[in-house]
Amino acid sequence: MKYNQKRNLIVTIVVFLAGILVGGRLLISQNSQPLGYHNVSNVIDGDTVRISEEQRVRLIGIDSPEKGECYYHTSTQALKELIENKIVKLEKDITDKDDYGRLLRYIVLLSKEGDDILVNDYLVRKGFAKTFAVSPDTKYRDLLSSAQQEAYKNKLGMWGECNYELENQGAREVDTEPVDPKCTIKGNISERGYGKIYLIPGCVSYNSVKIDTRKGEQYFCTEQEAEDAGFRKAINCP
């Protein structure tokens, strides 16, 4: 009797442990998608996608035609064909989200052959989008600028089909000096979507950010002045 009880106990333990093992394998299988990788559930337009019902992603460094503009549908369709319903890797620069709650990311399309595609670069290089570098998110600025020059030179995509020209070349190079040398807080305004931020000396990108007063950008003497004017502190500041 004791032998049978011991045998039953052993069988019960083995079955229990097997259940845990199988359950663990199922759990791992259900959550096997690596951290940082996401499925693109749908493409909203040529530079914005959705990875869940609640979360949208805005591609950094580029700007595709808006609805109603030349090449809007072609640009949107190109992005759909490239990454919709596919697994991609999201790469962050400095800023996490824009004022609309969208993640600001570079998107990498994985390839089984190992030749992964930086989607931001692909769209500019093929003429589906323009470059749109906004400090402090300029990690691939030179790469994207080179891609745009190539697309423009060869009249690819929007450059050949529409009347687009390279606008404001060098406009961001205008760098206004502060009127008061004691007022060195930079109030920077992005052209689209990223909002108004201010940078104090010591911020990672402080020296590279130029202030163009023609666009409403300005210098402030105190952080409180900047905040009262509607600017928020850049996240790469101490």
Q: Identify whether the C-beta of residue 41 lies closer than 8 Å to the C-beta of residue 87.
A: no
In the residue annotation, 66 being an active-site residue is answered as: yes
Q: Which of 7, 50, 53, 58 is catalytic?
A: 58
117 with 213: CB under 8 angstroms?
Answer: no
For residue 190, the number of C-alpha atoms closer than 13 Å in the C-beta half-sphere is: 22
Task: Report the alpha-carbon distance of residue 57 to residue 45 in Å, rounded.
Answer: 11
Spatial distance between the Cα atoms of 69 and 118, rounded to a whole number of angstroms: 25
Pick the catalytic residue from 53, 81, 84, 102.
Answer: 102
7, 25, 66, 192: which one is catalytic?
66
* Token output for 178: 């502060």
CB half-sphere exposure, 58, CA atoms < 13 A: 21
Strands 42-45, 48-50: parallel, antiparallel or unpaired by DSSP? antiparallel
232 included as an active-site residue: no
Give residues with Cβ within 8 angstroms of 173, minimum separation 6: 210
Strand 130-132 with 56-59, pairing:
unpaired
Number of other CB atoms surrounding residue 96 within 10 Å: 10
DSSP state of 178: P
Q: Is 192 a catalytic residue?
A: no
Q: Active-site residues: which are they?
A: 58, 66, 102
